[in-house]
Structure 1
């Protein structure tokens, strides 16, 4: 009985592109049988997510990169692992989950290749460069969205900093930046390493194209560093405002507690020392006189607190 092949593939006259969404042990075994890849590389393709790296094997390169993915439901960013097996007559891509920038491009390229009966790319390295470029461009709108989120957070943090949703929004943005940076970390180093290794397999390919990707990645990394500094400054300001407002509330609470305690003390002393018969509560004149004295004491305390700048 023939074993089921679950690998999606685009074949041309001289090379092929295989793409896998969320690989399992089944796909790993199929790759092992067909391409005889290193066992460690096939293990890295499977969960959990691995760190970015580039390894030269016998006859091919194995590369791991991480890219950010935005979940519109939770409005959070998380890293997606993208694996590449790069050979003279094949390119194999694998993503840790369904990743639309590659999956959609694969489906489009498959249709175009079927219509034209030929690939738009002369070699696997040209296709790899196109994929890397598309992934780089995929990250840019996400970074702009983060910038807009930061601007919005900066505007609302001073107006409603004590609201739970505002605090959570700042924390969400900060977490997204951290996860974005985690995904893009080591990109520059890995692609530079790729630029040095690729000549052995594709001597006709222009290395300047990969250098352009390195520059774009460096620009994106600098942008993310600026975002991190900005959101941390906003969070520090938010915490300072929270502390300031909390202190003000405690000051007002303490002042009113003091006034109430003093008022109760005066009333108790007056009733016990001067009017044990409680006639002060019955006689309107006595009641008004005592109320005026009590009010004067309260106003005097308020003036005292104001002059001391305690309120």
Structure 2
């Protein structure tokens, strides 16, 4: 089983990674008042962030970003939490390092265990959420660094590379927005609604976490606005470069039209001027050169080149 429990006084923190049917049975026996639907949600692949309130406990589902280096996008990692008077139960897939490290520190350090569990399960609940929310900001700062790097490279010639990176970053920003925004209302509920098994003084602390989430959401929106502006700039540059290429190709095509006409005429099996002279080839080539030079001079005079 992947179930572990820490105790300090009358407070218990149970942490479960990769929950199994055996773990589910332990939870049913240890906490018979947990609603069967909440226990069923623990085994679902992914639940939307939510808060289910009962008379003597809360069931909270939250999502936090986890970077996928293969797909180059942030994935939502789910944490399910039961909090009541004197206990906290956290269930996850073990991928969130802050939660795992926090539990390991409490297990290894009696001082840390006293500090975290000594003020009740609701204080532990707050501390876990606070640590996980703080974990969001290094990811956001990394996105900001990627955007700044892209700003410096956007005027290079490798348009394909720039557009690909823009697409990856935009997808990551949209994923972060989808993860962060639903949690704000959840934290607002924790701040404003009084519950007998959550200490009243924690209202201010939950409000502080909500402010952090709002700040994170604002950063994401700012990133999205910047990346959209960079996308417009990149599209403008690509269009400009494409127009430049098309202009050169058009000039070449226009130049070739009269030259093709002259060569086609002198390729016919009829009597033509200069056909009988010894320098007929040089004369025809010179004529074609004069036509091409005249057309280039005209294009430059009109400002087309």
- TM-score after normalising by structure 2: 0.89
Q: Which residue of 1 aligns with 2:282?
A: 288
- Cα distance per residue 1:60-82 (max 9 Å; x no partner): 00111111112345543111111
Measure how far apart 1:117 and its partner are.
7.8
Q: Which residue of 1 aligns with 2:171?
A: 175
**CA shift in 2, pair 1:269/1:14, >3 Å:** same
Is 1:49–2:34 an aligned residue pair?
Answer: no
Q: Which residue of 1 aligns with 2:213?
A: 217
Distance between the aligned counterparts of 1:24 and 1:263, measured in 2?
A: 80
Measure how far apart 1:118 and its partner are.
4.6
Q: Any unmatched runs of 5+ in structure 2?
A: none
Q: Which residue of 2 aligns with 1:82?
A: 79
Distance between the aligned counterparts of 1:74 and 1:170, measured in 2?
A: 14
SS at match of 1:185: helix
Distance between the aligned counterparts of 2:107 and 2:218, measured in 1?
A: 36
CA contact (8 A) 1:47 1:96 kept: no
Q: Which residue of 1 aligns with 2:56?
A: 59
Q: Which residue of 2 aligns with 1:137?
A: 134
The one of 239, 263, 268 equivalent to 1:267 is 263
Distance between the aligned counterparts of 1:22 and 1:157, measured in 2?
A: 43
Measure how far apart 1:26 and its partner are.
3.8
Measure how far apart 1:309 and its partner are.
4.0
CA contact (8 A) 1:181 1:221 kept: yes
Q: Within 5 Å, which residues of 2 pair with 1:99-178?
A: 99-113=96-110, 118=114, 120-122=116-118, 123-163=120-160, 165-178=161-174
Is 1:186–2:182 an aligned residue pair?
Answer: yes
The one of 91, 95, 115 equivalent to 2:92 is 95
Distance between the aligned counterparts of 2:24 and 2:247, measured in 1?
A: 66
> Superposition RMSD on alpha carbons, in Å?
2.4
Q: Which residue of 2 aligns with 1:233?
A: 229
Distance between the aligned counterparts of 1:112 and 1:279, measured in 2?
A: 106
Distance between the aligned counterparts of 1:117 and 1:172, measured in 2?
A: 41
Measure how far apart 1:97 and its partner are.
4.6
- TM-score after normalising by structure 1: 0.88
The one of 7, 12, 17 equivalent to 1:11 is 7
SS at match of 1:200: coil
Measure how far apart 1:48 and its partner are.
2.3
Aligned length: 302
CA contact (8 A) 1:17 1:90 kept: yes
Measure how far apart 1:126 and its partner are.
1.3
**CA shift in 2, pair 1:26/1:80, >3 Å:** same
- Cα distance per residue 1:238-267 (max 9 Å; x no partner): 122212222222222222123223212111
The one of 201, 204, 227 equivalent to 1:205 is 201
**CA shift in 2, pair 1:63/1:198, >3 Å:** farther
